[in-house]
Amino acid sequence: MSVRVVVTPTFERAVKKLHARDRKVLDEAVREILAAPDAGVARKGDLAGVYVHKFKLNKQEILLAYQFSASTVELLSIGAHENFYRDLKR
C-alpha cells in the first residue's frame, strides 16, 4: 500500500528557503514520518489531530507539523519553536 504525501503552500514556501543539504535532512525526517506516522507527538486543544515531529537541522531543533489518515500524510508546516504553534493555528 502506498501513502500519498500532500504538501501545503505554507510548508512549500518554508522548504524553498532551505539549502540543498538541509533539504536532504528534511527528506530523511519525512521518510521517518512515512515509516511510522504515529511516531510524532499528538497536539491537544486547538491543534487536535496535528502531530509534530522534532529533528535537528544545523544544530537547531526544527518542528515539522503534519496530519495523517490511512492513506495520506499532509505536511502542514516546518520551523523553529519560536511562534511555531501560534502560526500553525492560523
Domain count, the chain: 1
Task: Tell me the pLDDT tens digit for each residue of 51-74.
Answer: 999 999 999 999 999 999 989 999
Task: Tell me the pLDDT tens digit for each residue of 4-35.
Answer: 999 999 999 999 999 999 999 999 999 999 99
Longest Cα–Cα distance of the chain, Å, equals 37
Report the CATH number that the domain containing residue 82 is assigned in CATH: 3.30.2310.20
Coil, strand, or helix at residue 4?
Answer: strand
What is the extent of the structural domain holding 24? 4-89
DSSP per position, 36-73: -GGGSEEP-GGGTT-EEEEEEETTEEEEEEEEE-SSEE
